[in-house]
Amino acid sequence: MQNNHHKEHLYKILVIGDLGVGKTSIIKRYVHHNFSPNYRATIGVDFALKVLNWDQETVRLQLWDIAGQERFGNMTRVYYREAMGAFIVFDVTRPASLEAVAKWKEDLDSKLTLANGKNVATVLLANKCDQGRDVLTNNGIKMEQFCQENGFVGWYETSAKENINIDEAANCLVKHIIASEKDLLQSEVPDTITPQLENDKGGTCSSCFRSQ
Amino acid sequence: MKRVKQKELEREQGEAKWLDIIEKDLHRQFPFHEMFAARGGHGQQDLYRILKAYTIYRPDEGYCQAQAPVAAVLLMHMPAEICEKYLPGYYSAGLEAIQLDGEIFFSLLRRTCPMAYRHLKKFKIDPILYMTEWFMCIFSRTLPWSCVLRVWDMFFCEGVKIVFRVGLVLLKQMLGSVDKLRELQGMYETMERLRNISPESVREDIIVQEIVILPVTESLIERECSIQVRKWRESRGELTHQPGRRLHGTRAIYEFKRRAASISSGGSFSFLGSSIPPPGPLRASSSLLSLPGFRRSRAPFLSQSKKGSFSGPSGMDGLPPQSPPVVTSNPGRGPNHKPPMPPGAGQRAIPPHIQSPLVVSAAGPSREPAQPSEGSLAQGQPAASAPVQSTTPPPPTTLSPSPKIVSEQITPTIPSPTANNSPLALCPESKKEAVAVADATTGEEEGKKKKKSKENTKKKEKEDEKKKMKEKKEKDKAEKERLRREKERLEKEKKKGGKKKDKGGGEAEDKNGAAAAKDSA
């Protein structure tokens, strides 16, 4: 346990939001450093891995790119499982996709909580800002308010096309994830094993979860 | 086989007088439909080939102008029809059908490749994480294009079991040995592999052969389906969306339509069952398009399991009581079943004009995969995919390849009751199931249905007991035989040295798996 002074973290991060808001493009930009106007719709779920150096530790981000079409929403419970953080993305040129953000957040919080009952850290991404920056900068204060009301830890105007703010948003999320992880660890008794009558880990046993 | 015939037809010149008229008609079929709007576009091309092939296939009839719109409509609707009957509910709001199939798929994996099953279970990789795209897009985004075409070809004529089989074969190939799993020690690594299947790892001839021999039958799928539906109800409550019953193969669709048509239209389709040629071409398959009667008589599959008569597909393929016995032979089944009578006989007995070339040919290629040489021949023209293939008429004297030989050699050692290694079990079962299905589908009047199903359940109970005994016997027998063969193989391999380490591991797995499958059965 103690021998690996070079610690590694693995975090599962969800990327959700309405269809066509640019979830896949954001991930592509963040992980593969490129952008393509031609891409295919995500069916079900896709994955990508990003490795970061973080205070001399290695952080692996497992990015889950989840299909935006509403009918896939029925499967989100399975997709959300064991995630530590999330991006919710909307398209600044499509107001309806912002309206859907609250719905996505609600869905997320209702299906996923950390072991201590708290919601996972979630960052709001206002994507395609290269196309509609003006509209949003006017709404800056409103956006802050919106984030507060809906429990986002932060929001960023992003552009996958122009590579704007994506690294920043990811760093923000990772920061909050690490904080919430510390929070979690502190709530447990560190380094000692206390024999207990009731097994409180029973609830999180994956096989039990599966059969629910 | 079919493709050769089709190629023949396409190569043939055709009579100029027919071609002349056909060409004049091509741009006059649904000119505002996007498929047929463009002069010389794909819709018109397909139409041309279909109509021309028909004139060559039945030179005595040639071309009648009324055929063109019928064929055009068929071309417009075939894919939609296939989706509705083969994959009911797949694309509807709740996506429950695909999730249910995910559970069925995972359970089948446990039988067919326990090593992959355990691996996926170990890393908590839920089936919907990888099979959603596979199944919903019927592998069109997963496999190399030539494979996609072959798979779709088989899928069109044999139904959803092909989709299950392809998925199982892929998992087997990617997660089916110790060596392969060694580098996939994690959920992400595994998912990465499953999401990005390298084209090199999927050889068309190999994968098609594997798909053909995999002993996953319609009845196995249906049985598993009823189990999973029950589990679903217990854990998640009633299915909110109840799709129509799944039909397995063009043959099943055809039979189902035919029954429905004869019920709803009181015999106006009677020519279908008789040996008198239908008045016009393409009539039989034009009934494939939604008849009101058909829709009404479609029973949701849930009601099936309620009655306890969850019908095996052999039953679905089975003959309706009123039809002549020749229909029993099932060309759509492919080499995985032992047909109840010599394979050629029944097929030849079907008067070719009962079905339109569209229907017949769709049922045709099922035999093809077992003959890779011809398959690869046809593969040369991928552009000639779906609808055009359908123009092929049946080769009247073809024998399907002997299923026994193929399977005995290569089939992995799963003691499934419906597997090839116990062909005898199939006959009584299919008979019984035919009764069950006839019961479920023909009776429009409720009272009749109930009465019958009561009788049926009694009958079924008896037969089930008998069947179980028989199955058990056969399983034991198969198991012994398998162990013996495996021993031999292992010994041979020992002689060969450590060259095939990989394979040895897989076999050891199979052994375990067989035991597991047995346990679960």
Q: Is the pTM of this model over 0.80?
A: no
pLDDT value of residue B406: 33
Of A47, A74, A210, the CB nearest to B195: A47
Of B136, B191, B192, the CB nearest to A43: B136
**CB A45 to CB B141 under 8 A?**
no
pLDDT value of residue A176: 95
- Give the amino acid at B509: E
Residue B475 has pLDDT above 80, yes or no: no
**CB B129 to CB A79 under 8 A?**
yes
Q: Which of B39-53, B57-71, B257-271 has the least mean pLDDT? A: B257-271
Contacts of A24 (CB under 8 A, 6+ apart): A39, A42, A46, A65
Residue B9 has pLDDT above 60, yes or no: yes
**Please, which pLDDT band fits residue B8 given cuts at 50, 70 and 90?**
low
pLDDT tens readout for residues B290-310: 333 333 333 333 333 333 333
Write the Ramachandran bin of A90: left for phi over 0, alpha for psi from -120 to 50, otherwise beta.
beta
CA distance A70 to chain B (A): 8
Residue B207 has pLDDT above 80, yes or no: yes
**CB A74 to CB B124 under 8 A?**
no
**Please, which pLDDT band fits residue B78 given cuts at 50, 70 and 90?**
low
**CB B132 to CB A45 under 8 A?**
yes
pLDDT value of residue A179: 93
**Please, which pLDDT band fits residue B506 given cuts at 50, 70 and 90?**
very low
Question: How much of chain B, in percent, has pLDDT values that exceed 70?
Answer: 45
| Chain A interface test: which of B95, B123, B130 (most A C-beta within 10 Å) | B95
**CB A43 to CB B141 under 8 A?**
yes
**CB A47 to CB B99 under 8 A?**
no
Determine phi and psi for A131, rounding to 5 degrees: -100, -20
For the sheet containing A85-91, what is the strand order?
Answer: A45-54, A57-66, A8-17, A85-91, A121-127, A154-157
Provide, for chain B, the percentages of residues in helix, strand and coil under a 3-state DSSP scheme, each rounded to the nearest 5: 70, 0, 30
- Residue B96: Cβ within 10 Å count: 20
Residues 37-96 of B with CB under 8 A from A: 91-96
Question: How much of chain A, in percent, has pLDDT values that exceed 90?
Answer: 55
Residue A163 has pLDDT above 80, yes or no: yes
**Please, which pLDDT band fits residue B170 given cuts at 50, 70 and 90?**
very high
Residue B404 has pLDDT above 80, yes or no: no
**Please, which pLDDT band fits residue A101 given cuts at 50, 70 and 90?**
very high
Max mean pLDDT range (B95-104, B279-288, B360-369, B451-460): B95-104
Average pLDDT over residues B322-328: 37
Residues 59-118 of A with CB under 8 A from B: 62, 71-72, 74-75, 78-79, 81
Alpha carbon distances (Å) from A161 to A29, A92, A125, B414: 8, 14, 14, 52
CA distance B297 to chain A (A): 28
Q: Which residue of B has its CA nearest to A46?
A: B195
B446-475: b (≥16 Cβ within 10 Å) or e: eeebeebbeebeeebeebeeebeebbeebb
**CB A44 to CB B96 under 8 A?**
no
pLDDT value of residue A14: 97
**CB B188 to CB A49 under 8 A?**
yes
pLDDT value of residue A5: 58
CA distance B127 to chain A (A): 10
As given in the structure block, the two tokens for residue B177 are 């040995």
Average pLDDT over residues B476-485: 67
Max mean pLDDT range (A112-121, B72-81, B191-200): A112-121
Q: Which residue of A has its CA nearest to B96?
A: A74
pLDDT tens readout for residues A112-147: 999 888 999 999 999 999 987 555 556 778 889 999
| Chain B interface test: which of A24, A27, A43, A62 (most B C-beta within 10 Å) | A43
Task: Look over chain A and give the mean of its residue pLDDT values, rounded to a whole number.
Answer: 85
As given in the structure block, the two tokens for residue B89 are 């509910």
**CB A46 to CB B195 under 8 A?**
yes
Average pLDDT over residues A29-54: 89
B145: contact with A, CB 8 A cutoff: no
Contacts of B383 (CB under 8 A, 6+ apart): none
Of A43, A45, A211, the CB nearest to B137: A43
- Which chain B residues contact residue A64 at CB under 8 A? none
**CB A212 to CB B235 under 8 A?**
yes
pLDDT tens readout for residues A187-211: 765 566 656 665 555 445 555 544 4
B189: contact with A, CB 8 A cutoff: no
| Chain A interface test: which of B90, B131, B138, B187 (most A C-beta within 10 Å) | B187
Residues 18-37 of A with CB under 8 A from B: none
| Residues A44 and B128 sit within 8 Å (Cβ to Cβ) | yes
In the block, tokens 């609808």 appear at B387
**CB B126 to CB A206 under 8 A?**
no
Residue B398 has pLDDT above 80, yes or no: no
DSSP A109: H
* Start-to-end C-alpha separation, chain B: 37
Bigger pLDDT: A104 or B345?
A104
Closest CA to B328 of B401, B433, B472, B412: B433
pLDDT value of residue B143: 92
A1-12: b (≥16 Cβ within 10 Å) or e: eeeeeeeebebb
**CB A43 to CB B128 under 8 A?**
no
**CB B188 to CB A62 under 8 A?**
yes
Q: Which residue of B has its CA nearest to A47?
A: B192
pLDDT tens readout for residues B97-114: 889 999 999 999 999 999
**CB A79 to CB B235 under 8 A?**
no
pLDDT value of residue A91: 92
- Give the amino acid at A87: F
Residue B519 has pLDDT above 50, yes or no: no
